[in-house]
Structure 1
Amino acid sequence: MKNTFIAIAASVVTLVSGGAYAQSKTLQVGDALPAANEPMKNATDGGEMVYSKAAGKNGLLVMFSCNTCPFVVKNEGTTAKTIEYAREHGIGVVIINSNEAKREGDDSFEAMKRYARKQGYKVPYLADANSTLANAYGANHTPEIFLFDKKSKLVYKGAMSDNPGTPEEAKVMYINNAIDAVVAGKQPDPASTKSIGCSIKRKA
């Protein structure tokens, strides 16, 4: 009876803290790339695509981001360098905007298109309808990244660097090290770090 009560209490805490879209399990290192066969609207070119099609010969980097989060804005330079580094190493990149609660405002598709042009994106910037993909990943922050190898297995998740709050003072680029490991056929170390940023704005 005591264990049952503890389990119920834990479930209630999870639901209250995470809202209607609370995740019972965040994607873990070693898990497969979540399937999502429905095309998503691409703000980079105005078309649609299935996000997994962005994968390169050595894997796929999935980045949850948005237009206006202060952490996203202050890491714009880091994001640009990360995209370039990944593509140079045969890693495809896709950026996902899951802020469904702000889809009529700062994270509307039209605002996404303007932001993509401003940033000079050459990778897909996709609108995640109903935060479906974020829910599948258990993603909660912007920016938050997930790196998959060429076998579509998750090998790294978390932050791009050791200083998301002040990126110009970062000493370790976790994502670059993880990409180097993937290309070399090794397991990144660390394989997981804490993502720091704004919460993904799911619709209630």
Structure 2
Amino acid sequence: MAEVPSTFTLQAGEKAPDFTLTDGCGREYALADVLGEKGTLVIFACNHCPFVIHLAKEVGEMAAEMKAWGVNTVAISSNDVENYPQDAPEMMAEFAKEYGWDFPYLYDESQQVAHDYHAACTPDFFLLDKEGCLFYAGQFDDSRPKNNLPVDGRDLKLAIRQLIEGGTPILDTKPATGCNIKWKPGNEPSYYG
């Protein structure tokens, strides 16, 4: 389990790339469908990554809390399911239910959305403002599998609070860390590796 840092290049204040993807049950969502009144959290995730599993329950709890504040959540899996069948769309609904993810969990089969966001790892977090512009890209918190630090979402919660209170985008962040996105052979982005 090698840690891979995010390599986000979308700059704070820039409009986030649009997308239209389906969930594990075939329902279609565009970015406009999931934008929250005050903001939106876009998470690149997958079912099998130990870094995602480590945070999954707390992510579900935080998403429920954020929704009451006007901040919606959407997760996207961009992994190659031919080589990682445990991340297949039909397994995504089960994963979401197990961890209390009461928000859309979408499948990026072409991996284009991951490319567009310059997502590199799972989990990778992008907090957008109400206009759909990047406010924060970085880690959930300092907790990692086996480091014995509490999973508290500290970094992301601070960003959300600043967003809700009308603060300016956060520029000095710690990048998200996790497993690399499982790219289809030949589809690795130029920013990878």
TM-score surpassing 0.5?
Answer: yes
Counterpart-to-counterpart distance in 2, 1:103 and 1:96 = 18
Counterpart-to-counterpart distance in 1, 2:151 and 2:53 = 16
* 1:86-125 matches, cutoff 5 A: 86-102=66-82, 105-125=85-105
Compute the TM-score of the two structures, normalised by the length of structure 2. 0.82
Which one of the candidate residues 169, 176, 194 is aligned to 2:157? 176
Q: Greater CA radius of gyration, 1 or 2?
A: 1
Structure with a larger share of its residues in helix: 1
Counterpart-to-counterpart distance in 2, 1:102 and 1:167 = 33
- What is the percentage of aligned positions where both structures have the same residue? 30
Query: Would the alpha carbon gap of residues 161 and 110 (structure 1) be closer, same or farther in structure 2, given more than 3 Å must change?
Result: same
Query: Would the alpha carbon gap of residues 190 and 56 (structure 1) be closer, same or farther in structure 2, given more than 3 Å must change?
Result: same
Counterpart-to-counterpart distance in 2, 1:46 and 1:58 = 27
Q: What letter is aligned with 1:192?
A: T
Q: Pick 1 or 2: higher relative contact order, CA cutoff 8 A, min separation 6.
A: 2
Gaps of 5+ in 2: 1-6, 186-193
1:144 match = 124
How far the C-alpha of 1:28 sits from its partner, in A, is 1.8
* 1:19-98 matches, cutoff 5 A: 26-36=9-19, 39-43=20-24, 45-98=25-78
Query: Would the alpha carbon gap of residues 125 and 171 (structure 1) be closer, same or farther in structure 2, given more than 3 Å must change?
Result: closer
How far the C-alpha of 1:170 sits from its partner, in A, is 5.0
Counterpart contact for 1:61–1:94, Cα < 8 Å: yes
Counterpart contact for 2:125–2:140, Cα < 8 Å: yes
Counterpart contact for 2:41–2:71, Cα < 8 Å: yes
2:174 match = 193
Q: What letter is aligned with 2:9?
A: T
Compute the TM-score of the two structures, normalised by the length of structure 1. 0.78
Counterpart-to-counterpart distance in 1, 2:173 and 2:45 = 18
Question: What count of residue pairs does the alignment treat as equivalent?
Answer: 178
Structure with a larger share of its residues in strand: 2
Counterpart contact for 2:12–2:171, Cα < 8 Å: no
Partner SS state of residue 106, structure 1 = helix
Counterpart-to-counterpart distance in 1, 2:169 and 2:17 = 20
* 1:143-162 matches, cutoff 5 A: 143-162=123-142
Partner SS state of residue 182, structure 1 = helix
Gaps of 5+ in 1: 1-22
How far the C-alpha of 1:104 sits from its partner, in A, is 6.1
CA root-mean-square deviation: 2.2
